[in-house]
Chain A
Amino acid sequence: MLRNLLKYYIRNFSKNRYYTLINISGIALGLAISLIITVYLQNELTYDEHYSDYNRIYRVAPFYELEEGYLVAQSGAGIGPLMNEEYSEIESYVRMVSMGENFFFRYKDQSYYDDFVYFADSTYFQFFNSEFLEGNADSCFKKAQSIVLTRSLSEKVFGNEKALGKVIRTNNNFFEVTGVIQDHPQNTHLRFNALLPGFMNPISMDDMKRSLWSTTMFNYVKLKGGESPESVVNNFDRFYNKYMKDMGEMFGADFAIRLERLDDIHLKSTAAYDLNRGNIRYLITFGGIGFMILLLAMINYVNMATARAPARTREAGIRKVVGSDKKSLIFQFLGESLLLAFISMIIALSIAEIVVNTELFKTLSQKDLSKALFASKYVIFGAPLLILFVGLLSGIYPAYQIAKVEALDGIFGSYKLKKKRTWLRTLLVGFQITMSVSVVVIAVTMADQIQYVNSKYLGFNKEEVILIQSQDSLIAHDFLDRKALLLVHEDIKSISTSTNTPGSHVGRSIVAFDENGLETEVVDFMVVGQDYFKTLQIPIVKGRAFREEDSLSTVQPVLVNQRFLDVMHWEDIEDKYLYWAMDEYGPTESGKIVGVTENFHAFSLHESINPLVFYLEPVPEGSINIRINRDNIDEVISFLTAQWEEIDPNHPFEYYYLEDDLGNLYTEDMRLAQLTKALTFLVIFISILGLLGLASFIIQRRTKEIGVRMVLGASQVQVMWLMMKQITVLVFIASLLSIPIANKVIGLWLDNFAYTTPVKIEVFVITIFLALVLSYITVAYHIFYAARANPVDVLKYE
Chain B
Amino acid sequence: MSTLLELENITKVYQSDQVQTTALNSISLKIRQGEFVSLMGTSGSGKSTLLHLLGLLDLSSSGTYKFNNRTVNDLTKKEIVSLRKLHVGFVFQNFNLINDLDVFENVELPLIYLKIDRASRKKKVDAILDRLGIIHKIKSFPQQLSGGQQQRVAIARALITEPKLILADEPTGNLDSEQGNEVMEMLSEQNEKGTTIVMATHNYNDATYSRRIIKMLDGQLLSENRSVNVA
**Interface residues, chain A, with chain B CB atoms under 8 Å away:** 1, 4, 8, 11-12, 15, 314-315, 317-325, 328, 407-408, 411
Contact = CB atoms under 8 A, between A and B. Distances in A.
Contacts of B182: none
Contacts of B101: 8
A323 B57 contact: no
Contact of B114 (A15, A319, A323): A323
A325 B81 contact: yes
A328 B113 CA distance: 9
Q: Which of A315, A317, A321 has the most CB of B within 10 A?
A: A321
B128 to A, nearest CB: 14
Nearest to A8: B100
Contacts of A317: 96
16 contacts: A1-B112, A4-B105, A12-B100, A15-B100, A318-B96, A319-B98, A319-B109, A322-B85, A322-B90, A322-B109, A323-B110, A323-B113, A323-B161, A325-B78, A328-B113, A411-B96
A407 B113 contact: no
Task: Say whether chain A's binding surface is mostly helix, strand, loop, or mixed.
Answer: helix
B58 to A, nearest CB: 6
Contacts of B124: none
A408 B98 contact: no
Contacts of A12: 100
Given A4-B105, A408-B58, 6 more contacts: A318-B98, A319-B98, A321-B96, A325-B78, A325-B81, A408-B57
Contacts of B92: 411
A668 to B, nearest CB: 53
Nearest to A7: B105
A315 B85 contact: no
Nearest to A314: B96
A-B interface, 10 closest residue pairs, ranked by CB to CB distance from nearest:
A323-B85, A323-B113, A322-B110, A318-B96, A323-B110, A322-B109, A11-B100, A407-B57, A325-B81, A411-B96
B27 to A, nearest CB: 18
Interface string B207-219: 0000000000000
Nearest to A410: B96
A324 B113 contact: yes
A320 B58 CA distance: 12
A15 B113 CA distance: 25
A323 B84 contact: yes
Interface string B101-144: 10001000110111000000000000000000000000000000
Q: Most chain-B CB neighbours within 10 Å: which of A319, A322, A324, A408?
A: A322
Contacts of A15: 100
B152 interface: no
B66 interface: no
Contacts of A1: 112
Interface residues of B, number: 22
B52 interface: yes
A408 B100 contact: no
B47 interface: no
A797 B183 CA distance: 28
Contacts of B100: 8, 11-12, 15, 315
Nearest to A16: B100
A101 B84 CA distance: 85
Interface string B143-172: 000000000000001000100000000000
A740 to B, nearest CB: 40
A185 B7 CA distance: 81
A158 B155 CA distance: 86
Nearest to B158: A322
A11 B100 CA distance: 7
Contacts of B84: 323
Contacts of A408: 52, 57-58
A4 B112 contact: yes
B210 to A, nearest CB: 22
A314 B52 CA distance: 16
Nearest to A317: B96
A318 B101 CA distance: 12
Contacts of B105: 4, 8
Nearest to A408: B57
A319 B97 CA distance: 9
A15 B141 CA distance: 13
Interface string B68-99: 00000000001001001100001010001110
Contacts of A8: 100-101, 105
A7 to B, nearest CB: 8
User: Which residue among A12, A15, A325 has the maximum number of chain B CB atoms within 10 Å of its CB?
Assistant: A325
B90 to A, nearest CB: 5
Contacts of B57: 321, 407-408
A407 B110 CA distance: 14
Contacts of B157: 322
Given A328-B113, A411-B92, A323 B81 contact: yes
B113 to A, nearest CB: 3
A502 to B, nearest CB: 70
Contacts of A319: 98, 109, 113
Contacts of B109: 319, 322-323
Contacts of A411: 92, 96
Contacts of B78: 325
Contacts of B110: 322-323
A11 B110 CA distance: 20
Contacts of B97: 318
Max chain B C-beta neighbours (<10 A), residue from A318, A324, A325: A318
A244 to B, nearest CB: 80
Nearest to A321: B90
B129 to A, nearest CB: 16
Given A1-B112, A322-B157, A315 B90 contact: no
Contacts of B85: 322-323
Contacts of B52: 408
Contacts of B96: 314, 317-318, 321, 411
Nearest to B157: A322
Contacts of A4: 105, 112
A763 to B, nearest CB: 48
A135 to B, nearest CB: 68
A364 B85 CA distance: 61
Contacts of A322: 85, 90, 109-110, 113, 157
B228 to A, nearest CB: 30
A408 B161 CA distance: 21
